[in-house]
Amino acid sequence: MNTINIPRLDLNKYINGTPEERKLFSDEIGKAFNDTGFITITNHGLSKELISELYAAVKNLFALPDDVKLKYEKPELAGQRGYTSKSKETAKGFKVPDLKEFWQIGQTVTDNDPVKDEYPANLQVTELPDFNRITTEVYKKLEAAGGLLLKAISVYLNLPESYFDDKIHNGNSILRALHYFPIENPDALPADAVRAGAHEDINLITLLIGASADGLEVLTRDGEWYPVKADGEDVVVNVGDMLQRLTNNKLKSTTHRVINPPRELMKYSRFSVPFFLHPKADMNLACLDACIDENNPKAYSDMTAGEYLDERLREIGLKK
C-alpha cells in the first residue's frame, strides 16, 4: 500500500502567524487539497474537555430507546434536522443502505438575516438538555474554524481573503452525530452492506472531530484505499463537491468510506461527528474563471448551492 501525505497543519499559524507563516499555511492547504483532498488541523478552537463532553452526549443520545428517538424523526425535513433512523441513507450508486443512524443540527440565525425563514428549527432533545447545549457550542466553534480555513483557501485561489464570508454567514451547515450501530450477526447482512459506502461529501468543506474507532479510509489517486487517522484531538478536514465544482476540479473532493471492522468488533458501536460546512442556498457554484483554461475546460454546468444540495439529497435517498 502506498502511503499518502495528509499534512497536519496548525490553524493558529494562520490566525496569529507572520505574513510568511500565513502564506505558507495557505500554500500547504491548497497543495493538500489539490493532492489528497484531506488535512488534519490542530488549534481549531475545541478543547479536549468539550470533545469528551460531545462524545458522551452523542452516546447518550443513541442509547435512548428507539421509540423515543423516533419521536424526533421528521421525514418531511429530509433528514436535515433531528433523527434519521437505521437504513435510510444510501451512498450514491449503492443499492444497500449504510449501517448507521444519525442526528442533524442546523443553523441557528441570531441576527435579522431573512434566510432564517428558509431554515427549519432545530429539534431539542427534551430527555437530554446537555446534548442540545453541547452540540450548539460545537457547531459554532467548527463554523468559525471552517470560515478561517476558507479564508486560507481563498488566498491560495488568488481570491479576496473574504470571498466566502458573506456566502457562509448563516449558511446551511449541518453538524451530524453518527452512530454506526452494533451488528450481532454479521452473516445475516447483505454481502455489500457497509458502515458508509464510498462517497464524496456534498458541501464546501467537512470538519470531522475524530471518531470513537478506526474505519475511515480515503481513495488515493492510485486507486488504493488508505486509512485516515486523526491524532488525538485533531480535526480532519476534507474538500466537498461544492468546492470541487466551484474550482473546476482544482481542489479535489476525495472519495472516502467507513469500512466494517473485523467480525469480532462488529458488535461494538462506532461514533463520529462531522460538520458539513455549507453556504447559503443562493451561492453561485459556477466554476471560477481563474480555474478555467484550455487545459482545464469548464467541467460543470452553472448551479446554485441550493439546487445542488436538493439534487444530491434525492440521489442518496433522503429526499423523495
Q: Which residue type, as a one-letter code, is found at position 237?
A: V
More confident residue, 82 or 263: 82
Residue 187: band (very low, low, confident or very high) from pLDDT cuts 50, 70, 90? confident
Residue 5: pLDDT band with limits 50, 70, 90? low
Per-residue pLDDT, 78: 84
Domain chopping of the chain, boundaries: 8-315
Return the higher-pLDDT residue of 224 and 60. 60
For 8-28, b/e burial (b = at least 16 CB within 10 A) is: ebebebbeeeeeeebeebbeb
Confidence check: pLDDT of 129 > 70: yes
Separation CA 8–CA 42 (nearest Å): 7
Residue 182, SS3 per DSSP: coil
**pLDDT over threshold 60, residue 2:** no
In this prediction, residue 289 has a pLDDT band, given cuts at 50, 70 and 90, of very high
DSSP per residue, 187-231? GGS-TT--SEEEE--SSSEEEEEEESS--EEEE-TTS-EEE----
Confirm if 30 and 157 have CB atoms less than 8 A apart: yes
66-90: pLDDT as tens digits: 999 999 999 898 889 999 999 788 8
Cα 312 to chain center, whole Å? 14
Q: For position 1, what pLDDT does the model report?
A: 46
What mean pLDDT, rounded, does the chain reach?
91
How far apart, in whole angstroms, are the C-alpha atoms of residue 77 and residue 119? Answer: 10
Single-letter residue type at 51: I
Q: Compare 191 and 285 and report the one with higher pLDDT.
A: 285
pTM: 0.94
Secondary-structure class of domain 8-315 per CATH? mainly beta
Amino acid present at 226: Y
